[in-house]
Amino acid sequence: MRRLSLLFKLGQPTRDLLSWGDLIVLAIIAVLIYAGVRLAWRTPSVIEGPEISLAPTALPWYALLSVGRVLAAYGLSLLFTFTYGSAAARSRRAEQILLPLLDVLQSVPILSFLPVVLLSFSAILPTQIATELASIVLIFTSQVWNLTFAWYQSLKTIPAELREVSTVFGWNRWMRFRFLELPFAALSLIWNSMMSWAGGWFFLMAAEAFTVGERDFRLPGLGAYIQEAVAQGHYDALVWGISALILVIVLFDQFVWRPLLAWADRFKLEMVKSEPPPSSWFYEALRSSRLLRWLSEHLWRLIFERVDALLGRLAPHEPHGSLEISWPGKILWGLVGVGLLIGAYRALEMLIRVPLEQWGVIAMGLGATLLRVSVALALALAWTVPIGVFIGMNPRWAAWLQPIVQIAASVPATAFFPLLALIFLGLPGGLNISAILLMLMGTQWYLLFNIIAGAAAIPQDLKYTTVLLHLGRWERWRTLVLPALFPYTITGAITASGGAWNASIVAEYIEFGDRTVHTLGIGAVIAQATVSGDYPLLLAATLSMVVTVVLINRLFWRRLYRLAEEQYRLE
């Protein structure tokens, strides 16, 4: 009998070189940064923020506000994921533009760009609305990229026979989305949704408690509560704040994520039933509800029938061939192109102001940060692969470990990082070690959640086949587990790598009251430029980081993505 690895479709990896779309995308990012900087100069020099109460009685209201912001950002993330990821997966021409843009967007260091976003919003909107929007945008950027990559990876790895069945049935785009694509991607989306929410909680302190000089952009919420407790050294309040955050995470696990995992187990691609399947007391309670059953049979079915009919008319079939652009559309794109050229010229004028020696510092900082990111990613892979496989392939253990993992991923390490940095500063290479540690704490969860999703999606019949073939542990890993995990690992590694670059801004530049400590790295350069208001250096360093991450993604990760699509698809 052939090896199990032959159950995965074999193919030749295609070359994935840089395209002209990368240059257009980078120009767009440069123009947006430049426009934000110009608007930031018009912002009032003093903005008073709200008073953050540290009373425990304020925590329920703060928790509700924070959940609302994370929920709003998650809704935007899903909308972006389904539209953007679908367009990139279904069209080679769109993929050449959208994937480079996605690489750029997930690599933009939002923690450094947040001041520009806040100040530019404040220049054109009321301060309260601008701060809320900026907070949701920051949380959105911590949630959306892994969801989009996971959705794209799922669409690209749908077995060919399932696509052929959908064609035979004559499904339109909506029916294909509802009955094929969404069920096939359900497990990956649910685990990545948990990671997205954990990422939103992780960045909550930065999203709700941000100040720029005399401008106070704080928002009432759990993040601002924890930040205020840290600033005042009020450790009782810090314990109350973190306890409230953990309680919210546990409630979401019991009433949202675990029921969804139990429900999504039906969509696993296998010929035998999993033993034992994921369970949820709340899901079983909902299934036994007569009222919910009546609503499902009489109300939800009618609603879905109307939605199917409406969306079926709006999206009847997959488009074929290239679409001609009308003359008004060509004129509009021409005007956009002219505006882009003007903005790129202005941004180039700002870049010319950066002295040559600062470019040298940027180059050395890129090399130092790249080394730290590589070490953090290697350490993350070393422990997430075995632990993720154990959790994903053992549902009973997963029921206990899943909430623990969510809590560990959601606790904002930035609240404790200054204390950890102080501990490591007395050791040789202390700040370098602490920087790698913070990168690891902030990005390892992207890998873990994707690997758990990949391990949970391995068909049970393939596991039984390895037993029948009497394969040893290493042979089982080599022929089944590692090939099945490969697409999920690449998805997690891309988002983890981008997150590590982003985390370098807070890991390489630390403020202890009146004391500032920093090390060589591009994150430190960006943080220093932000604090000093050196916008030309901020633009140069940010674009340099973006270009570096895009080159790594396009020349390394994207080729592995193509390999996962063509060689490790379950067929």
- What is residue 308's predicted lDDT score, i.e. its pLDDT? 67
- What is residue 320's predicted lDDT score, i.e. its pLDDT? 44
Cβ pair 148, 80 in contact under 8 A:
yes
The two tokens of residue 65 are 């506000």
Per-residue pLDDT band for 365 (boundaries 50, 70, 90) equals very high
What is the CATH number for 519? Answer: 1.10.3720.10
pLDDT at 10 over 50: no
Range in 273-287, 343-357, 384-398, 491-505 with the lowest mean pLDDT: 273-287
Give domain status of residue 490, yes or no: yes
Q: Which residues contact 130 (CB under 8 A, 6 or more apart)?
A: 118, 121, 122, 124
- What is residue 132's predicted lDDT score, i.e. its pLDDT? 85
What pLDDT digit, counting tens, does each position of 375-425 carry?
999 999 999 999 999 988 887 787 788 778 877 776 766 666 666 666 777
- What is residue 68's predicted lDDT score, i.e. its pLDDT? 93
| Mean pLDDT of the 234-263 span | 86
Backbone angles phi, psi at 521, to 5 degrees: 170, 155
Task: For residues 243 and 236, give the distance between their C-alpha atoms in angstroms, rounded to a whole number.
Answer: 11
Higher pLDDT, 299 or 224: 224
Task: For residues 42 and 202, give the distance between their C-alpha atoms in angstroms, rounded to a whole number.
Answer: 31
Give domain status of residue 433, yes or no: yes
Q: Which residues contact 491 (CB under 8 A, 6 or more apart)?
A: 146, 149, 150, 153, 188, 450
Backbone angles phi, psi at 345, to 5 degrees: -65, -40
Helix axes 127-156, 558-567, angle to 10 degrees: 40
Task: For residues 132 and 217, give the distance between their C-alpha atoms in angstroms, rounded to a whole number.
Answer: 9
What pLDDT digit, counting tens, does each position of 302-351 carry?
777 777 676 666 655 554 444 455 566 566 667 666 766 776 777 787 88
What pLDDT digit, counting tens, does each position of 176-221 carry?
888 888 888 888 899 889 888 887 887 777 778 766 555 566 788 9
- What is residue 15's predicted lDDT score, i.e. its pLDDT? 42
Per-residue pLDDT band for 471 (boundaries 50, 70, 90) equals confident
Give domain status of residue 15, yes or no: no
- What is residue 16's predicted lDDT score, i.e. its pLDDT? 47
The two tokens of residue 227 are 């930040």
pTM: 0.73
Task: For residues 55 and 243, give the distance between their C-alpha atoms in angstroms, rounded to a whole number.
Answer: 14
- What is residue 381's predicted lDDT score, i.e. its pLDDT? 92
Q: Which residues contact 151 (CB under 8 A, 6 or more apart)?
A: 81, 82, 85, 86, 89, 185, 188, 189
Q: How many domains does the chain have?
A: 1
Higher pLDDT, 35 or 173: 173
Task: For residues 171 and 182, give the distance between their C-alpha atoms in angstroms, rounded to a whole number.
Answer: 14
Cβ pair 275, 460 in contact under 8 A:
yes
Nearest Cα residue to 94 out of 147, 178, 155, 138: 155
Segments forming the whole domain that contains residue 556: 61-283+291-315+353-567
Cβ pair 111, 99 in contact under 8 A:
no
Backbone angles phi, psi at 361, to 5 degrees: -65, -40
Cβ pair 431, 424 in contact under 8 A:
yes
Nearest Cα residue to 117 out of 435, 538, 519: 538
Cβ pair 205, 412 in contact under 8 A:
yes
- What is residue 363's predicted lDDT score, i.e. its pLDDT? 93
Give domain status of residue 419, yes or no: yes
| Mean pLDDT of the 12-18 span | 43
3-state secondary structure of 511: strand
| Mean pLDDT of the 454-459 span | 82
Range in 160-169, 331-340, 505-514 with the lowest mean pLDDT: 331-340
Give domain status of residue 330, yes or no: no
Nearest Cα residue to 366 out of 549, 517, 533, 557: 549
Give domain status of residue 385, yes or no: yes
3-state secondary structure of 468: helix
Cβ pair 483, 535 in contact under 8 A:
no
What pLDDT digit, counting tens, does each position of 433-453 carry?
888 888 888 778 888 888 988
Q: Which residues contact 305 (CB under 8 A, 6 or more apart)?
A: none
What pLDDT digit, counting tens, does each position of 106-128 carry?
766 666 566 666 666 666 677 77
Report, in angstroms and rounded to the nearest whole number, the Rg of the chain calculated over CA atoms. Answer: 24
How confident is the prediction for the chain on average, in pLDDT?
A: 77
pLDDT at 294 over 80: no
Cβ pair 132, 210 in contact under 8 A:
no
- What is residue 40's predicted lDDT score, i.e. its pLDDT? 55
Task: For residues 540 and 531, give the distance between their C-alpha atoms in angstroms, rounded to a whole number.
Answer: 15
- What is residue 429's predicted lDDT score, i.e. its pLDDT? 65
Nearest Cα residue to 100 out of 557, 569, 493, 491: 557
Give domain status of residue 140, yes or no: yes
Range in 88-102, 410-424, 517-531 with the lowest mean pLDDT: 410-424
Cβ pair 258, 191 in contact under 8 A:
no
Nearest Cα residue to 261 out of 452, 440, 89: 452
Give domain status of residue 144, yes or no: yes
Question: What is the SS3 assignment for 243-272?
Answer: HHHHHHHHHHHHHHHHHHHHHHHHHCCCCC
